[in-house]
Structure 1
């Protein structure tokens, strides 16, 4: 009986473990991971990898090829030697990934400017990558293995490589990298290969102690950096003697095979005297120049911020603190080590000097004032990374309220309780813009002022991060209101839907016909239509077209618009105009009319794309009645419904020239209220 009980207990234990394991393994993949891996798949050119999809899917549950997971998070992507092409894109925002191995492929383009801070191993060797190595390593303090060998990389090593405090293996051989190796000298590297590059200058002595150091094929100086001499030798001591000279040996290139005569001694001493005199004279001249420049700067402090650009006064670099207040805020011990990795965003303390405050003026006509690390203007504020990290609880996942083509959006709560929405631009959105261009973009967006457009209240451009800060709207997006679960779904009566369409139409009318120069939205969909507590409409992402007009971000945005059923037919040929915005607006009106998503793969194939399914029904009154959102329960005037359908039909005409201007649509909707 005892043996039977023991067997029974073992069986119960095994069954329990199977149930528990099954419970943990059935979770869906983190949506952030899904967005990142879908973006990577598109950037790689949609290769034939088992299970991979451009939109949607569940990489962990469906066991995508080369993907490893822990519970719901992707922790590794191993696709070395898979004959992959395309590019890496710029959205590698995997929140928990540890290893990425894409070595021995044919991947081109640049290395992304944003890399996951959780990485421990990154192998991109033996590809076709080009350009410089981005300054993207400030947060990667866990990275131990970095392989970039056998590519077409050029330029100098970025300063952020000095933050790789766990790096033990670095492979950079067979590139066109240049500059010195000083940035690597304090890292715990055990295996360093830099062969066949263009590195120059003296080799730091610390690197020569690395157990495995391959350096052939570089135009290095033949000497290493010398240690400071204990004392300067006298002129007489410098004269060589036939027996005591350190240069006088069989293996020395300066070895002498004959006795040194007195004339040789005199010649040697004379040459050294000349060199010492020349060096002394050079030092004297250099000191004189430094003293002169110092006096000039002391006499002209008012010239410091005199250089003006189109967007006003701008002093580079924005990525560093501009005053002591900012520095003290960044280095606040209460804000170190939080989820966003601020303790690794800042340079080491010895390289953070306190420097005078410098103004950043977006509009020359607007006066500015520095207060608690923020540059205050009459229109927008310049936030520090530290303050936004504090307000978003280190950009915690629970505060993430949206994922878009350009980046993630987080809820931020200020000390006074006010809520803001912070859009953290990913590298895809900002790789083609320098600091000056980003400021110009911020300046342009700040001028967009309309009752139905989300208002920009501030921005951040610090430590390589670019963030836009908007007013917060409590009822989320129109997409969630129409298609969300019970928690997010909002019951919108017929008149509320007309008002929502009118608000969105007025926003586009302003962008197309009132603002100068006119703006094409380029990413108009229900997920970018926000609602406040009164169900008033505010269109987001206005003025961000320049971030979507070229490069990987534009390609990804275009594919998403197409995949989700918002893109006009002409977009397939690369054309996007104001009339393309009108088409996308018509799709949103269809969502309001039917309660259906613009694209829903859960429906039968013929009904998945909303426009394709709805067009034949818009002018058949019986079919139109059957396609109305059941949530309305028939509570709408039939005449109003028919008029609404007519506006939709005019917006989604196949030929752009047949679609109406937004001002006409606004007038038609006003007549319906």
Structure 2
């Protein structure tokens, strides 16, 4: 019986095995096919990296990265989750579709030879990004501001050369940030103070300036700020860091001024938190600190109550505080460093109690640690005597970074607003050149006083507050303001290369014309400035005055859009935009919209393409209106070649010009609903750049200071 059962058992066993195998085939796929957006993004990346053979498995079109085990790619299901291409000798760039890689959490292309800007878009949900030891130029992309899962960011050992934007306010998980060994400049943004998890920060070997006070409240274990241009004092809170490197800066000597009221308690709280329970401040100590602060406040109130009866006394008594430190008069050289540097040292590092980025003018008034020489009064008016500054301070919700200038000082610097210092005149006022003894130059926009008739007293302070919140590489940033004796003025950085209008239409025969690459760069930078106003600012801002004369060019011919935040003035002026920039629907001031801004930008692009003015009565009647003349020809290759600015002398890539014309055609459509949003315009120009020759991309990356934010 046992012998006869063996064949049956064997057959039964084989059938069972077949059933199991069949079931496995039915229920287990060989591999999930990679999601289409991931495939497309990696295809573009491969082409942008010059299709290197060392990336085994990679393709420029199609393929299955997850199923075919592409080099450096890891997946979960059908989604790419890791890209690790470190130290492979890669060249080129990373492409322009990285934002499609929504499941990528680990992104490492360090130790390669990648050039151009860090891409405007990065994998949006990454928690680890390492692009160190490449040759990236430009700035830190603003898209990082939206990457709330980011824990590690390393951009060290590149050629980044921009200022840091205020992009760190929504990165609660960021633990390590390395920007060392670049050429980054400017002051540290206030939003760095929001990095509540940051334990390691490397900023060494850059060109940062100003103070490092913004770092005082961070839970840092390692901090390296060596070999920069930092000034002021090292905050006491940072001196407790176990691994601190601060050499190679211009630190102030002598004792640091006492912090503003409330700071000691905050510092003690931070210290207690950092020690993590090892040495917690006792309730008695906290009570003592609170009582001490309260006592200081009471003394200050009494002091200033007594001072208020003496209107002729504008500044704190210098002798009273000379034992703490002395101040030197503010010089024009200090004025040139940054917009905060218009305030004497010791002032500029104070900020409001509510931790906004505002300069708290009342704190400056009331701090007993501040002493001023009387000679400073001819530059910055007394805060006690400046009702406008007090109104600004009274609005706790504002974020004011601009510095108050005195009327006397501006009159001196502009030759009493002499006609020889006049830079230009627009619908809301005149702009003058203000020159100081050391050669520092500023631009002063003197707003027509008639625009304030019947308005609210606080209106100008609100405008200053709103403009001061605008921070973008391609927007002319407000330096200061003056509101005295019925004069209302805005002070901006002076751009020696003037405006795009002057470059295109007023240059003489000896001037070097703008190259095609530079024109594309100007278009892209301006587009991104408008996109910032439309889609990053909340609420959205309509510019209402986009034209070539409001696009200022710095020493490297990078664009800076001016007149931002002044739409309320344009709303009430009898004049419209500069002739030829108005969208067809803008028959009255209230008709301006985001879409009319897009139209005006399209006209600027037409100027860049053709070298013609929007309206030119010297042309034949059929050619006087640039949009009307150019629009029918934008898709005609032969006609387009004849439209291109003769100053280019034929030195341009025809395909690039054709794509540029396609973007213009979208922007200047007569129906506003058909015009694209500015984010799409930016994308289109970026694609134009990406599809152009490698040399063009390198030129674009090396010569411009871009990227504040993602599109």
* TM-score class, shorter: 0.3 to 0.5
Higher relative contact order (Cα pairs below 8 Å, separated by 6+ residues): 2
Greater radius of gyration (CA): 1
TM-score computed with the length of structure 2 as normaliser: 0.43
